[in-house]
Structure 1
Amino acid sequence: MPDLRASFLAHLAQTSPFPIALDIVGAEGCHLHTRDGRRYLDLVAGLAVNNAGHRHPKVVAAIKEQADKYLHVIPYGEFIQEPQVRFAERLTSLLPAGLDSVYFVNSGTEANEAAIKLAKRITGRTGLVACHKSYHGSTHGSLSITGNEEKKYRNRPLLPGVRFMRFNEEEDLALVNEGTAAVIIEPIQGDAGVRVPDRSWMLALRKRCDETGAMLIFDEVQTGFGRTGKLFAFEHFGVVPDILVLGKALGGGMPMGAFVSSKERMHLFTHDPVLGHITTFGGHPIPCVAGLAALNVLEEEHLAVNADRMGALFKELLVHPAIKEVRGMGLMLAVDLGDALKVQRVVMGCLERGVLGFWFLSCPTAFRIAPPLCITEELVREACEVILQELEPHN
């Protein structure tokens, strides 16, 4: 049998010169298992994907049951497929009025692309406003509204008419005007190093969009499904978007995205032209049943409440002269060391000791903590002990 690592490097397109390259053979709950017999405490959760934990029995059972019935049968929207209907019903039952129609796609970036299309269709405008240091995906449109020039400059020209404001800066809301189709933000910025806005700024943003007729899009791909201590992050601020974008944890560990708006607005995709937005695999039955099962687990096991409690415990325990700040909400946390080299050393040192952390795209001085929401107090203490030991000068 060929060496698996060599084949991985030779035949899979890489995203960096030095991938971590753990050889995973199993996962459950908050742990990953590698071929060499090691077990890792996962503080990444597939990047805020496995909120219910790796391979939760109820999620696995739902996948197996659906696999015995049917897989893909037709492009999205033509047939009645119970997994799609039941999941959409459940999602909208948990959302405010005006977010009652769900369009399932395959990923968060695809959902952001579609949300932009919908906003342009609703308003008849083309201008977009996003935030500096934001991250919305790597496809062309999503990259255009991502506020990280390092990730963009090789791909220009991108979409025209995109302007960037500073996150949580009220004076920059003047960039939103009568030519703006949509403002798209993360209600808590993720790859900027977990930046939480003031409630007053969120309310002012909502007001500015209402005054100008711009659609307000919340990208909750990272923040959704209990990650921040509430089901959706916008609940912390008392502000409801016109379009809600979902992904990552939405599919319960399966690839899935969605955008949600009102039935009236979504109806625009049905005419002039017909099939105004289409997808072959969006709403695939396997991610739908997995996502619904994971959502039920989230509620039955009170995982959003646990995220709030365990996030507070991380903040309580992670006190050290080398730590400048631990910021975030729930189990969406950034540990800022103020030094990119220290971050690299600590993340790799923790990995050697069986604790998996990860970096941010737009905040090199911090590392992320975003474990499965089922993490226990015992595991939080174990993780913090390792992190604190790696922060000691002799390490």
Structure 2
Amino acid sequence: MQLGRPVFFKRLGAPGAEAFAVLFALESFARALLATVIPIEALRFLGTAGNVSSAFFAASLCALCASLGIPWLVRKTARRWVYSLGFVGLASAPALFTVPGFESFMAGMVVRAIGTVAVTVCLSLYILDFIAKKDLSRSEPMRLFYSAAAWAAGPFLGVWLAVNVGRDAPFLLSAAVALAALGYFWFLRITENPAVVQKAVPVPTPLAYVRRYFAQPRLRLAWVMTTGRNVWWVVFFIYVPVYAVKTGLGPEVGGAVVSVGASFLFLTPLTGRLVRREGIRRVFVAGYLLASVATFLVAASMGQPWIGIVLIVCAALGMSAIDAGGNMLFLFAVRRHERSEMTTVYSTYRDVADIVPPGLFSVLLRVFELPAVFVVGGAVTLGLALLARRIHPRLGREARPPAPLAVGEPAQ
């Protein structure tokens, strides 16, 4: 009898859903280790939440400008080199963080943001090449489930290492994980799908394929929904650690809360099954409504920080349900011959989500206190709950077999 374990390892050695899930998990761990450390370090350098917002805004703006050149870079070289360059960025950014001084810290933020964009764009293209559309409703929850351990452990582990081992410890570990991901990628020997490469039509300028993307309603809706989802997660990852420090709970509590919120990714097999049964629309509306109510209540409970912590964890539970089907809106809508250009435009959701909250809050927090962050976060998720009603009710839902005929019932 053939055992399941060798079959599993065989799948890890070839491009497919399992291999892409492992790649995504390694990339996620490299980023998760620093997800809480970076805001706390920025707060140490800059002193106020408003200044932290300005630093994140500047780094994300640089990454957005760089991301629009990725299709050109892919065509001039090859996707595997751009993907590798992204991991080199994720590995070299921690080295910059270890250099004393705020200038090198800012350079590390920029390099990390650009590396993340390159890795995200290229992995999405590989998934579109190797995973059939009919299998996306299963492969996407699997990919998020594999990354759950990274996001559950990484934010707290990073802060714990910085406090108990040394400031540089989480940065060095993050660089090592990024290099391990790069090594695994080259072990897989993934190449572009020749059919897609030959049929791709070059586009003259980035502005042209941006216009082409937003001229398509389904792609436009996918971008707005995913950007809004990431806006909430940016608020969570940046301002929950700041909230913990400012309310006296301490940095380790902030890291633990981020880890608990991210650990709900372990539920993606269940939420993925729910998406296949109920469709993306119902899951999105319910998840956004839960997150909206809980995030609004965080702003009202600033005097009782532990109640605020419970509420923000409840909001993360609602958002994690959305993550299971988050990229499906785009993956179902994109046309085969436009994958490279459209994926690049779609991937700007990460940069825009990284830019908008810090840019907005760098202004608001000079006038209002920290609760304003959670008021805005609740308003955004409420708007997304209303917008989610535009999603087709059957999208993402598996076709159900017809009910069996009753005894004596004639076939139609």
Q: Which has the higher contact order (CA 8 A, sep 6+)?
A: 2
Q: Which one has the bigger strand percentage?
A: 1
Q: Shared topology, TM-score over 0.5?
A: no
TM-score (norm 1): 0.26
Q: Which one has the bigger helix percentage?
A: 2
TM-score (norm 2): 0.25
